[in-house]
Chain A
Amino acid sequence: SQTIHQWPATLVQPVGSPLSLECTVEGTSNPNLYWYRQAAGRGLQLLFYSIGIDQISSEVPQNLSASRPQDRQFILSSKKLLLSDSGFYLCAWSAFNLGSSGANVLTFGAGSRLTVL
């Protein structure tokens, strides 16, 4: 069966410090990978998605970047954190090439709570 791991679970960082959140998926090949953010009192905002190694699309211009160095590894980074980067970050995966059959069911990791002070 497929599993998704995301770490760290909780992170408190000062403004201006770097960030690295990591996500790995097991039990599947060539998944679509996603980074979402849930800011306080808001819904889930898609930040990045990837359909393959080094193939990453950014949805929202921001202070963050993403990389996919391996098929089942997705990393969210920042060189200098801002206060507004605080939030709950979620990694997710879905099967590749669903086409028109079936809903694009995302499976989410447990999330990473980032607090920037």
Chain B
Amino acid sequence: DQQVKQNSPSLSVQEGRISILNCDYTNSMFDYFLWYKKYPAEGPTFLISISSIKDKNEDGRFTVFLNKSAKHLSLHIVPSQPGDSAVYFCAARGYGNKLVFGAGTILRVKS
């Protein structure tokens, strides 16, 4: 049972435009949501997080939006840059402080 789903395996965006990565979850008890970025043959690096009591968190070019009623969150990257090309994982914190990860979305930013 996948509690965190990233339904788009890949996304291609032109440099300078907005990238929108989506994530859906099923467990209403998740209290934090995180986004990680991963380059090939490297470990994921933390990007941004949001508490379940917030609906938006912004850090530079990255903004995460949370819609609790829809159990949906999204990561906006604007403007997108070629260096943003990577796999993006959505994660949610559940019982015991453990993170549950989605399958990831491959983002390609074309120059």
Contact = CB atoms under 8 A, between A and B. Distances in A.
**Considering residues A6, A44, A102, A105, which has the most beta carbons from chain B within 10 angstroms of its beta carbon?**
A44
B62 interface: no
A90 B44 contact: yes
Main secondary structure of the interface of B (DSSP, over half): strand
Interface of A: 6, 32, 36, 42-46, 49, 59, 90, 92, 94, 98, 100, 102-111, 113
Contacts of A100: 31
A32 B93 CA distance: 14
A43 B32 contact: no
Contacts, number: 58
Q: Of B34, B89, B101, which is in contact with the most chain A CB atoms at under 10 Å from its CB?
A: B101
A42 B42 CA distance: 15
A32 B103 contact: no
Nearest to A92: B43
